[in-house]
Structure 1
Amino acid sequence: MPSPTLHQSCTKIVATVGPACDSPEQLAELITAGVDVFRINTAHGEIPDHEKKVVAIRQASEQTGTPVGILLDLAGPKIRLGELFCDPLQCDVGMELTFLRDGEPTTAHEVTASYPKLIDELRPGNRVMLADGLVALEVVSVDRSRAVCRVTAAGEVRSRQGINLPGVKLSVSALQRKDIKNAIWAADHEIDFISLSFVRTAEDVYSLKSVLSAHDCEALVIAKIEKPEAMENLEEIVNVADGIMVARGDLGVEIDVAETPMAQKRIIDVCKEKIKPVIVATQMLESMHHSARPTRAEASDVANAILDGADACMLSGETAVGDHPVKAVQMMSRIMQFTEKSLRHDMSDRTITNRVHPITTAVTYAATNIAEAIGAAMIIIATKSGGTAWVKSKSRSLIPTLGVSDCPETLRRINLFWGIKPRRVSQMEHPALIRAEVCDWAKGKGYLKTGDRIVFVSGSGVTENAHNSVVVHTVE
């Protein structure tokens, strides 16, 4: 099976693994179609199930010869309905539903929740949203044993569907006991990215980082923005996280759905300012669960996320349980490639990030400008940790760029950086040998030809922990 080409989309594709694509062969097809990072959703299944997915992903990576990243998505304190007495239950406007503290429902109008403190934290007048906001309730009364709610927006609900409480300040921690167990497992299995659900403050991110640090784990922590409190504390959260996910499913229920597009733009803008990769997620190609083509609105949604500055877009049910997982990835890649043609390299931005040496930042910006000025065929960045590639990704230069390293973990993490393709090299000590090795490979693949110019960024060793060398090389 052929590996993905250097000329696929610069915006990265995150795809969720599920029953529709969990064999090594199916995953290899998705890699070839353009997937850069696979997401494992811990809200479904237990650790043995996650382990099977990791094994299958790494087998697919070997089959295609392409390093792909793995993102473990921690479930967090997602509140869900218990088992309904009548399943499904049609909720009509004016109907009353009663949440019970203890026991099981004995009538169709009684329900339970997975969050034991729900009754304690509800007040008359609070809103309760069920099934991703399809059904809306208003709390009428609360006593020690129950909360009575009235339906204000009708719809059908099923057992175990989600409950959202817009405007209700919950005391529950973002990092649950099961999340800690999954995070420790991820640390032991060299997972590349770990996302934390229902983040409200920077302290939530620090909590997860502390767990990972205690287990010598260098996975990048992705904070999911899906609560109003997260929007209030956005800059502090972006500062401490390694990346951000715009989790529009719950965010669009927790805040007014009309506010969601501008919230997405604000989140992306803050991430651009602070040089943090940002993933836009949820319902991007929702109709492709069953249709072989997306709606025009969905295609526009993907394109607008790219124009806003997203580093990656995520597919959820489209690949996990959909009828056309490969077609969904191919379609997303096509939309990305057409949209990226309208992007322009930003030569004015000189933002400094504390993730890399300031000399590295300056040299990387200069190298990109040189490559644009001379019409270089390729940029090659030799990187140990991936930090230099991180800076380069912000420029949105469309010149094909390789992040080369001899560290497998670095190569997998590079997959989340816009416009950077990972390539393994045999050694990192001698820049001239790295350059020769990569050029030979690229010529063999047809990416370079005689007379092409490349810009090569590396360290000379003069400045410790910094890339301070730019070489312009003409392919012989």
Structure 2
Amino acid sequence: MITRKTKIVATLGPATDTSERIKELITAGVDVFRLNMSHGTRADHKRRIDMVRDISAGFVRQIAILMDIQGPKIRIGKVQDGGVTLKEGGTITITTEDIVGNEELVPTTYGGLTRDLRAGDRVLIDDGLLELKVEAVEGSCVRCTVVYGGILKDNKGINLPGVDVSAPAFTDKDKADVDFGIGEEVDYFALSFVRTVKDIKQLRDHMEQQGSRIPILSKIETDTAIKHLDDIITNSDGVMVARGDLGVELSAEDVPILQKQIIEMARKAGKPVITATQMLDSMMISPRPTRAEASDVANAVFDGTDAVMLSGETASGKYPVKAVEMMGRIIDKAEGVVVKKEEYIRRRNMETRSSVTEAVAFAALAAAGEVNAKAIVVFTLSGSTAYLISRLRPKAAIICFTPNEETGRKLALYWGLASFFIQFGSHGEELICQGESRLLELGLVRRGDHIVTVSGSSTG
């Protein structure tokens, strides 16, 4: 019987660039593979997509692909010798001109920097390791005082907390990447540096022009996004708590609270949520995580996240498979102690049903509880009924049968949903018999076990 409910997202990269390694990752427990479009070429990602599709065809459960598009990366340009030293209390000027930087003048790749900044604004570089304060904006230059110094290296990212950045969240590069992703039939897009609903609409409008309705996950990683969180969640198909940039734009002590709030809001809205960034970061170079990292993964499970994500740990780390295995073990332990909290949430949600599909989902949950069912079996075309049952977090396993491979892959991201391909029979009784045979064949139940079956409508 399937036990782990929280899903694992793993980023592909140089450390996981072979069919053998991808097979090991799926065997270890990966449910969704992430393609980071900030790195590599489309040819690289095409090869990875093909490998995932080819290898996952040998597994009975469905595996999804998430394309994480880059967004408006604001970076430092080239500097002498690959890096210069900034001293606290000193001055440094950032220019939008195309030069090679030195200790007095460094370039940025973002031409709108002088338009967006004002005296007194903060400029954070390299994930906040360096901090500057804007003294003046003059022509193509921004003159700054060094608040926290260090070595400033080529191509390091720039964050502008509290600044209304005018760069579009959906860039020309992103458009080309999305067109590529649509052609490759990826299962999800993650939109980086979302600030308002307008950013989501730009991506959705572009996709509609291509005839695509691939779900959009908005990455919550800016202070502006926090101010518009309700609208962003409402207009997204899901969200990602991108704690890296979020922890730079906001105070580190705010991130754990925001993580809980975002997860709770997403769950209330019935949208899947991924918790991401540095979850097992030390496993980039170590075969074991720190105790704090283990607690971090467990706390995301306690918060009710649908999925937890590995980034560099699997993309370029020394122990990608061990990282997935460790994450799975931590999840298993954590899920054993969240039953009481989920029971409260289920009771609260049962008071808010507002549609026929929701009523069916609640009825399935109640029936499963009454007979102590081993599984709730959902026959679905679109996945909507399965999504609602996942939202209620039942104790029983949720087994989804669908004739639609695209639907099956999308279900792979949602908490507790295990999806399998099956051709539907012509009538309900035949469908149930097919499902029972498949359950026994897969070893998901034994004869004598109680199950609850749910069938969506022609669109469910």
**TM-score in terms of structure 1 length:** 0.92
Q: 1:271 aligns with which of 233, 251, 266?
A: 266
Q: Conserved in 2, the CA contact under 8 Å of 1:8 and 1:34?
A: no
Q: 2:205 & 2:122 partners in 1: Cα distance? A: 34
Q: 1:244 & 1:106 partners in 2: Cα distance? A: 37
Determine whether 1:107 maps to 2:102.
yes
Name the counterpart of 1:200.
Answer: 195
Deviation at 1:125, TM superposition (A): 1.3
Name the counterpart of 2:358.
Answer: 361
Between the two proteins, the alignment pairs up a number of residues equal to: 455
The change in CA–CA distance for 1:271 and 1:351 in structure 2 (over 3 A counts) is farther
Structure 2 residues not aligned, in runs of 5+: none
Deviation at 1:98, TM superposition (A): 1.4
Code of the aligned partner of 1:133: G
Larger CA deviation: 236-245 vs 179-188:
179-188
Name the counterpart of 2:117.
Answer: 122
Q: 2:101 & 2:357 partners in 1: Cα distance? A: 66
Name the counterpart of 1:327.
Answer: 322
Code of the aligned partner of 2:175: I
Q: 2:142 aligns with which of 133, 142, 147?
A: 147
Q: 1:94 aligns with which of 89, 92, 107?
A: 89
Q: Secondary structure at the match of 1:26?
A: helix
Code of the aligned partner of 1:306: V
Q: 1:336 & 1:302 partners in 2: Cα distance? A: 7
Q: 1:450 & 1:196 partners in 2: Cα distance? A: 45
Determine whether 1:236 maps to 2:221.
no
Deviation at 1:238, TM superposition (A): 0.5
- Correspondence list, 1:185-264, <5 A: 185-264=180-259
Structure with greater proportional helix content: 2
Name the counterpart of 1:288.
Answer: 283
Q: Secondary structure at the match of 1:314?
A: strand
Q: 1:136 & 1:107 partners in 2: Cα distance? A: 17
Name the counterpart of 2:403.
Answer: 406
Code of the aligned partner of 2:28: A
Determine whether 1:78 maps to 2:73.
yes
Determine whether 1:10 maps to 2:5.
yes
Deviation at 1:388, TM superposition (A): 0.8
Deviation at 1:465, TM superposition (A): 4.5
Q: Conserved in 1, the CA contact under 8 Å of 2:66 and 2:189?
A: yes
Q: 1:106 & 1:307 partners in 2: Cα distance? A: 47
Larger CA deviation: 100-109 vs 184-193:
100-109
Deviation at 1:290, TM superposition (A): 0.6
Name the counterpart of 1:339.
Answer: 334
Q: Conserved in 2, the CA contact under 8 Å of 1:10 and 1:398?
A: no
Name the counterpart of 1:452.
Answer: 449
Deviation at 1:180, TM superposition (A): 1.0
Q: 2:375 aligns with which of 369, 373, 378?
A: 378
Name the counterpart of 1:424.
Answer: 421
Q: Conserved in 2, the CA contact under 8 Å of 1:380 and 1:455?
A: yes
Q: Secondary structure at the match of 1:64?
A: coil
Q: Conserved in 2, the CA contact under 8 Å of 1:127 and 1:166?
A: yes
RMSD: 1.7
Q: Conserved in 2, the CA contact under 8 Å of 1:283 and 1:315?
A: yes
Q: Conserved in 2, the CA contact under 8 Å of 1:85 and 1:110?
A: no
Q: 1:92 & 1:159 partners in 2: Cα distance? A: 17
**TM-score in terms of structure 2 length:** 0.95
Q: Conserved in 1, the CA contact under 8 Å of 2:397 and 2:416?
A: yes
Q: 1:66 aligns with which of 41, 61, 80?
A: 61
Q: Conserved in 1, the CA contact under 8 Å of 2:219 and 2:242?
A: yes
Q: Secondary structure at the match of 2:81?
A: coil
Structure 1 residues not aligned, in runs of 5+: 1-5, 467-476
Q: 2:179 & 2:10 partners in 1: Cα distance? A: 23
Code of the aligned partner of 1:350: M
The change in CA–CA distance for 1:105 and 1:371 in structure 2 (over 3 A counts) is same
Runs ≥4 residues deviating over 4 A:
351-354
Name the counterpart of 1:304.
Answer: 299
Q: 1:353 & 1:451 partners in 2: Cα distance? A: 32
Q: 1:429 & 1:156 partners in 2: Cα distance? A: 67
Code of the aligned partner of 1:64: F
Q: 1:172 & 1:123 partners in 2: Cα distance? A: 16
Deviation at 1:447, TM superposition (A): 2.7
* Bigger RCO (CA 8 Å, 6+ sep): 2
Deviation at 1:429, TM superposition (A): 3.7
Q: 2:310 & 2:4 partners in 1: Cα distance? A: 15
Q: 1:446 & 1:103 partners in 2: Cα distance? A: 62
Determine whether 1:170 maps to 2:135.
no
Q: Conserved in 2, the CA contact under 8 Å of 1:99 and 1:148?
A: yes
Q: Conserved in 2, the CA contact under 8 Å of 1:190 and 1:217?
A: no
**Residues 129-188 of structure 1, C-alpha deviations (whole Å, 9 max, x = no match):** 111111111112221131122221133332111110111111111110111111122112
Q: Conserved in 2, the CA contact under 8 Å of 1:319 and 1:328?
A: yes
Name the counterpart of 1:471.
Answer: none
Code of the aligned partner of 1:91: L
Larger CA deviation: 321-330 vs 152-161:
152-161
